[in-house]
Amino acid sequence: MSGRVTIASVKLWPARAVLLCLGLLLAACPLPRSMSAAEPAATARSQPKRVLMLHSFGSEFRPWSEYARSIKVELERRSPWPVDIQEHTLISARSNGPGPEAPFVEYLASLYQGGLPDIVLSVGAPAARFAQRYRGKLFPNTPMVLTAVEQRLVSRFDLTDNDVVVAVRSDFLAAFENILQVLPDTKAIAVVIGASPHEKFWIDEMKRELEPLEGRVALTWYSDLSFDEILKRASTLPPHTMLFWGLMSVDASGVVHEGDIALRSLHAVANAPIFSYQEPFFGGSTVGGPMHSVAETSAKTVSAAIRILGGEKPANVKYDPIGFAPPKYDWRELQRWGISESRLPPGSEVVFREPPLWEIYRWQMLLIAAVILVQAGLISGLLHERRRRQIAEIESRQRLAELAHVNRYSAVGELTTSIAHELNQPLGSILTNAETAELMLKATSPDINEIRQILADIRRDDQRASEVIRRLRSVLKKTPFEIQDIELNDTVREAIGLVTAVADGRRITLTYMPVLADLHVRGDPVQIQQVVLNLIINAMDAISDADTGKREVSVSTMRAGNQAEIRVADTGPGIDASDLANVFNPFFTTKPEGMGMGLAIAKTIIEAHHGTIAASYQPAGGALFTIRLPIIR
Ligand code: ADP
């Protein structure tokens, strides 16, 4: 290292200095005889040990700041004596130019003129070099521990018997091979490193050490770039390029980077993972791998310091250079860059694992689970209720079907005479035609054509009779309530066919005017026919035999929006306004023989079809019943 070391700042602890002065004053005063003789060991124990800690770039420069912090904590914890740690910071390592080194040396010399420190601890290579260079002048016999210094930077030649070295050994090849191990597709590695003399030394060292990688991976060095430029490049790296964080104390434009702000801002913009070989940079920004362990170095440093302060000869305190600790990886970075844990070398430790969501949001999850359970309970309760309702609906339809069936029997009972009449007519013609044909066959030369005509008539009459019976059976058959797609015009026509003869018998004109379009609804055809039949029979009942005026029942269908409409109108007396609200009530009747169940059943049937039925009074006289059913297409 070529840099010369100069004072940058001196950090004295005023309270401790006052205590020290008091201590010196007390030491100068003659002690009472009893005290000085009785407690020499106790006095020695309470006497603070003065420790001078020398920083390299500054007390907040990583990685050395982390070593220094750990050493201080460990020393204060393990030291059997009170320790007075005084820290001095050098910054001459930051620049190439020779700094005013002499005044700083003078300053230290005058500062410790009255009493030298018990031990000097230098942290990092520049501090080690400074201490070695000026130990003769400043602390000729004071023991020194040179710590957190790479073994290559220790000047073995300048070492004295009072010096202990706690060196580290950086294996850059191992650090780079770790990158290729965890990310085997790596094609290039960009090395982020500053431009201070210390950093320049390391660029040359790394280049030499990494020669075996030539041809395997392309190396780029960012030492000539300002940090801003480095950030720009790092955000647009080509695929399969990784970043290696060497050191960034002073960049090429002379900007000094303290703490870990530089690394954090690189991490924020980089489009590639960052690796490093120093533990102080691990934990938030770098992926990990083999690294120098702060704990191991500081533990050895503190052990050395305590042994020396306890009176052991520094020459007897020796440590081998400390290599990389077993590899450690940041779980969050492994996740971010999709690095499989199976790629990590054996014996690796994965840290900063994020607990599963279940552990982070335990209470929230429990609450959500409870809400879901309650909801599931409610839903299953509702489903059960719905099922029960469906069963109840099916049962009620069944009852309705049975009731309707009974009602149909009573309605058809009224039609018996006219049905018998309707059947008699074709049967009578069949008999007459058959007799005629027999007579004709007795003739010597029967007219075959005439006989053929008679047989055709017989067949037609037979079909007519069969049709009457078929209709009757279909309306009387006991079927369960069965919803299907039906065409309403045909269904109504079928019902009318049953009562035509009755109307004829009562001298009533029964007209049917279906709309000239198909009306598709969902329904049970037998039930719908029963309703229509009921309305027609009621309409015919309303027209008294004595009435000599217009005797007419007109049935029509039409489409009203998305509803199909059936209208049954008559020329009877109509329904009294006071009765309009009651006609659909069970047992409401104005007929001496009536049961008052026809319209109540009709209403139930239509509502089971999601439709409506209404009665009204026509201005021209007579009643009008309107049924509406939803159209399906
Ligand atoms: P029922 O025919 O056994 O009386 P309904 O429920 O079919 O039972 O009819 C109830 C009552 O509604 C009838 O008694 C009658 O007073 C009245 N009604 C039904 N249709 C008509 C109509 N077209 N004109 C006049 N009144 C009617």
Q: Are residues 153 and 184 in the same domain?
A: no
pLDDT reported for residue 67: 95
Nearest-CA residue for atom 7 of ligand 1: 598
Nearest-CA residue for atom 14 of ligand 1: 589
Is the pLDDT score of 97 beyond 90? no
Burial of 18 (0-12, 13-18, 19+ CB in 10 A): exposed
Is the pLDDT score of 554 beyond 70? yes
Cα-to-centroid distance, 423 and ligand 1 (Å): 28
Nearest-CA residue for atom 4 of ligand 1: 589
Q: Are residues 75 and 213 in the same domain?
A: no
Q: Is the four-CA dihedral 347, 352, 356, 362 of positive or negative sign?
A: positive
Cα-to-centroid distance, 420 and ligand 1 (Å): 25
Q: Which two structure tokens, joined as six digits, stand for 373?
A: 């359970």
Distance CA 416, CA 435 (A): 28
Q: Are residues 553 and 581 in the same domain?
A: yes
Q: Are residues 159 and 184 in the same domain?
A: no
In which band, very low, low, confident or very high, does the pLDDT at 508 lie, cut at 50, 70 and 90?
very high
φ, ψ (nearest 5 deg) of residue 116: -75, 155
Is the pLDDT score of 76 beyond 90? yes
pTM value > 0.85: no
Instruction: Please name the helix (run of DSSP H) or strand (run of DSSP E) that holds residue 559, with its range, or none.
Output: strand 552-560
- Rounded mean pLDDT, 314-325: 94
In a domain, 86, yes or no: yes
- Report the atom number in ligand 1 closest to the C-alpha of 593: 3
Q: Which two structure tokens, joined as six digits, stand for 568?
A: 């049954």
In a domain, 578, yes or no: yes
In a domain, 24, yes or no: no
Domain termination residue (choose one: 477, 499, 518): 477
Residue of 589, 616, 617, 618 to test ligand 1 pocket, by largest number of atoms within 8 Å of CB: 589
Q: Which two structure tokens, joined as six digits, stand for 530?
A: 């029963």
477, 393 contact by CB (below 8 A): no
Q: 547 or 624, which is more confident?
A: 624
Q: Are residues 216 and 342 in the same domain?
A: yes
Q: Are residues 87 and 63 in the same domain?
A: yes
Cα-to-centroid distance, 543 and ligand 1 (Å): 12
Q: Which two structure tokens, joined as six digits, stand for 69?
A: 């912090």
pLDDT reported for residue 382: 96
Q: Read out DSSP for 113-130? A: SS---SEEEEESHHHHHH
Nearest-CA residue for atom 16 of ligand 1: 590
Cα-to-centroid distance, 395 and ligand 1 (Å): 28
Nearest-CA residue for atom 22 of ligand 1: 539
Q: Are residues 103 and 180 in the same domain?
A: no
Is the pLDDT score of 431 beyond 90? yes
Distance CA 529, CA 525 (A): 6
Cα-to-centroid distance, 468 and ligand 1 (Å): 26
In which band, very low, low, confident or very high, does the pLDDT at 539 lie, cut at 50, 70 and 90?
very high
Cα-to-centroid distance, 257 and ligand 1 (Å): 103
In a domain, 41, yes or no: no
Q: Are residues 164 and 91 in the same domain?
A: yes
In a domain, 299, yes or no: no
Cα-to-centroid distance, 512 and ligand 1 (Å): 21
φ, ψ (nearest 5 deg) of residue 149: -120, 135
- Report the atom number in ligand 1 closest to the C-alpha of 591: 14
Helix %, strand %, coil % for the chain, to 5? 50, 20, 30
In a domain, 318, yes or no: no
In a domain, 22, yes or no: no
Cα-to-centroid distance, 312 and ligand 1 (Å): 126
Q: 523 or 56, which is more confident?
A: 523
The parent domain of residue 365 ranges over: 359-391
Q: Are residues 598 and 483 in the same domain?
A: yes
81, 49 contact by CB (below 8 A): yes
Q: Are residues 577 and 602 in the same domain?
A: yes
Least confident of 374-378, 418-422, 463-467, 539-543: 418-422
- Rounded mean pLDDT, 606-630: 94
121, 71 contact by CB (below 8 A): yes
pLDDT reported for residue 33: 36
Domain termination residue (choose one: 151, 168, 185): 168
In a domain, 26, yes or no: no
Q: Are residues 160 and 59 in the same domain?
A: yes
Domain termination residue (choose one: 112, 138, 168): 168
**Closest to 611 in 3D by CA, of 552, 550, 546, 527:** 527
Cα-to-centroid distance, 14 and ligand 1 (Å): 115
Instruction: Indicate the number of domains in the chain.
Output: 5
- Report the atom number in ligand 1 closest to the C-alpha of 600: 6
- Rounded mean pLDDT, 163-188: 95
Ligand 1, pocket residues at CB < 6 Å: 534, 538-539, 542, 570, 572, 574-575, 583, 588-591, 594-600, 623
Distance CA 523, CA 381 (A): 31
CATH number at 142 reads 3.40.50.2300
- Rounded mean pLDDT, 393-400: 77
Q: Are residues 144 and 188 in the same domain?
A: no
- Report the atom number in ligand 1 closest to the C-alpha of 535: 20
